Amino acid sequence: MSAPPIQVTEYVRRPAPGKLGKAVNTHSNFFEVKQLPNIMIHHYDVTVTPDVPPPVNRKIFEQLTTSYRESDLNGARPVFDGRKNIFSPKAFPFESRTFEFKVKVKKASTINLEELHRFLNGRSALTNNCLTAIMALDVLIRHQPAMLYATVGRSFYTPIGKQALAGPLDVWRGYYQSARPALGKMMINMDVSATAFFRSGSLLELVVKIANVRSVDDLRRSSPPINWKRIEKTIKGLRFTVSHRERAKRSFKVFALTETAAKDTKFKLQPRGNGDPAAPEEEVETDLVTYFKKAYNISLNFPMLPCVQAGKNIILPLELCSVIEGQRYMKKLDERQTTDMIKFTSQPPQVRANNIKDGLKILKYDDNEYLKEFGMKVSNEMVQIKARVLPAPTVCYHAQSRDANFVPRDGAWNLMNKKVTQGTTLGSWGIVVFGTERDCPLPQVNKFVRELIVSCTETGMTIPNKSPPVMYNNPHGDIESYLKNAWIQTGNAVKSQPQLLVCILPNTGVPLYAEIKRVTDTVLGVSSQCLQMKHAREPKKQYCSNVCLKINVKLGGVNQYLAAGMMPFLAKPTLVLGGDVSHPQPGDNTRPSIASLVGSMDNKAARYAATVRVQTARTETIADLGDMTVELLRTFYQNCGRKPERILFYRDGVSEGQFAEVLKTEVADLKAACQKLEAGYKPTITFVVVQKRHHTRFFPTRREESDRTGNCLPGTVVDQEVVHPVEFDFYLQSHAGLLGTSRPAHYYVLYDDNKFSSDELQDLSYKLCHLYARCTRTVSYVPPAYYAHIVAARARFHARGERWSDTTSSESGAGEASSYLTVKPELMRGYCRIIFILRIMIVGRCSSLRWIRY
């Protein structure tokens, strides 16, 4: 009798590789570890007192190894992660020791890499020893660049090739590295990254850029006045040096700006004896201009400007300060800066591949003394892997369409000669222009309305009301009152309940958009469609057609579906779920997280309903998943007349470190929800995590196997070489590239009652990507997870009292809490309305639901 198989994973073990589709070869930004260390690696825990940032820790570590390598560290070249962990190729001659600088080093463990070899070859589970070994390799490859360059997370950045962003910032190119286990080997995943840094050099010039004026002379103006408080907030914490004391290497930090100009900033000068060349024989009061002239023979050019306060008793003129290089900008970029950043980072595949190779030249793995000491060798060539391009499904529109059924090419199609599957009737609607008639004249608005009506009619909608009322409002006024009045005027115009408010916005700013969605979703209970004024001024048919798709699904229509037999897994009643949790910005400790769940409402997975919950901030699991699932199970039954026999859950926003917690909690909640609905009800469940935040990229090896942007073709799937050694995961690049290098979605199966084969799950996931209702393209990951992400982000706008900003700081949120923080999730009486509107946003209202007002 044969022995039972070894349990090598708590998740789903990988089935046989898929075979469906056309075989192609691609390169990926992984580099094979040709030789792993063949030694015992010694792990030490390090504590630096007091607690200081990683860059300071690294300087201390460098001084420690320089001073004690030969005498106390056995001549080893250890590596350090900048926080708590030291890894050494040789054992130190002590178990625990405290060095000067208050650095305590204590032996933690000894790592045998044989266990890692067994894991990579599928003969052992991923143990803590394996995880520590992988961490050691990660620290090893990042140690040297971290000691030489500005480091953020797993990336290091260099000013080589930097470019200016709008305002006081530059964008630097960085290089990301991560040691990753793969099939039978370790790989180094390397990618390019980018982040914003303050521009080094004159602090005064930096202030000019922040103030958005042309020159330093413009800082003197009084109308409109310079916002010095805003400037102070931007530069606070910046480190700088001064030019009047060239011998001193000391750096300073900006604490504040003085409220008075340099010529009016007075202080008491202490008597001689402290080394100050301008010190008098006895204490006198002087001003900054006089002091610098007397002490350093410097005549200040801009005595009318504020000064920098760099400490309790340190005040320095702006013009003498120079910003130190390599200081990262931590706040959110504004619209112009974001545009500049996108231009810098959107690199065609071949350009990105070449930039990655440039990073290799900087890293010089072959010449790295630390890698040599540990006995590790890394290939300098990208790995070549076998991929497949899955066949596209047949997409269907209304039977009366001239091109009712077709197979998309290159992941995109258009609405020419096509009518939506189920068009709705739009009878009561209004146009709300947030601006003046001078901004967007009435004839232009009417022209846009005519073009929109034509496009909607051609795509299968019915619009009997050809002259909706047009209302102009102040974008900075009382938005709620404006929308209430618009709702009343719209209803009175045709004597019926308004269905839609089309809102024309002057820009893409968040505050106005957020308030419109809050009011229409939670106060008025009416669908809204926002669009930019520039599109209303010059309406284009393709744009109007895309708006029509959104309007149709918001009113309850269905745009497209896949032909019968395209998704055999859905032949039995199947509930396709998508889940996500949206968290507040980093540093925000007042706002909660928002969990969302969407579920399919038909056997074509073309219509979805949604539900949301508020939960404790930064809780990654969906806390109320059980009750949310019950809601969607009931809605599925009301629409389909049957309970689902299968549940396929695509979960967005989960990192690898959270897999175990999410699996344990959320699968149990799904099962409990089924039991709550009916005792003994046990549909088969498959739980798949969808990840987009990763650094894996694929590069076609042949031009004919790429799309027009040079990216891999839509439907490219990879389930070999760069995937997990034993667990069921794969990469799927389902969309056509528009700009830059496409990022594939990473699908990771944590639980599978349905016993999917690789081909079955990969094919189903790719075909679902053709059913995103809001555009005529395949999308980058499955619509259920995509919708869940949209719903969670949208629900954040529903809180009353939010102060949205286009340049919200990552440190924001310290002010007044929003109204939803004071209401318990289970007692939120307005949720029935919110859920209802979110259903409209995705697919329209479900006929069995009853409108409930409170």
Tokens at 516, concatenated: 């419109």
Say if pTM beats, i.e. exceeds, 0.85: yes
Cα separation, 738 vs 346, in Å, equals 10
pLDDT at 284: 82
The dihedral region occupied by 153, where left means phi > 0, alpha psi between -120 and 50, and beta the remainder, is: left
- CATH fold, domain 201-273+280-323, is paz domain (2.170.260)
pLDDT at 852: 26
Beta bridge partners of 576: 648
What value does the mean pLDDT of the chain take?
90
Say if CB 648 and CB 575 are below 8 A apart. yes
Helices then strands, counting H and E runs in the chain, come out as 19, 38
Every domain of the chain and the residues it spans: 201-273+280-323, 423-555, 572-692+747-803+818-842
Cis amide bond preceding 50, omega within 30: yes
**C-beta pairs of 53-61 under 8 Å, 24+ apart in sequence:** 54/82, 54/83, 54/146, 54/151, 55/82, 55/151, 57/82, 57/83, 58/82, 58/146, 58/147, 60/101, 60/103, 61/86, 61/103
Cα separation, 800 vs 777, in Å, equals 35
Q: Single out the residue of 854, 814, 790 nearest to residue 594, CA to CA.
A: 790
Sheet-wide strand order for 239-242: 201-202, 321-323, 239-242, 252-253
pLDDT at 165: 96
Tokens at 534, concatenated: 């520039």
| 371, containing H or E segment | helix 369-374
Say if CB 385 and CB 378 are below 8 A apart. no
| 442, containing H or E segment | helix 442-458
pLDDT at 313: 85
Dihedral sign, Cα of residue 218, residue 224, residue 229, residue 234:
negative
pLDDT at 848: 29
Cα separation, 248 vs 241, in Å, equals 9
Cα separation, 139 vs 607, in Å, equals 47
pLDDT at 276: 64
3-state DSSP assignment of residue 448: helix
Q: So what's the architecture of 572-692+747-803+818-842 in CATH?
A: 2-Layer Sandwich (3.30)
Cα separation, 382 vs 29, in Å, equals 6
pLDDT at 723: 97
Q: Single out the residue of 307, 219, 298 nearest to residue 264, CA to CA.
A: 307
Q: Which portions of the chain are predicted below pLDDT 50?
A: 1-4, 807-854
pLDDT at 274: 57
| The CATH number of domain 423-555 is 3.40.30.10 | no
Beta bridge partners of 87: 43, 79
Count of beta carbons in the 10 Å neighbourhood of residue 87: 27
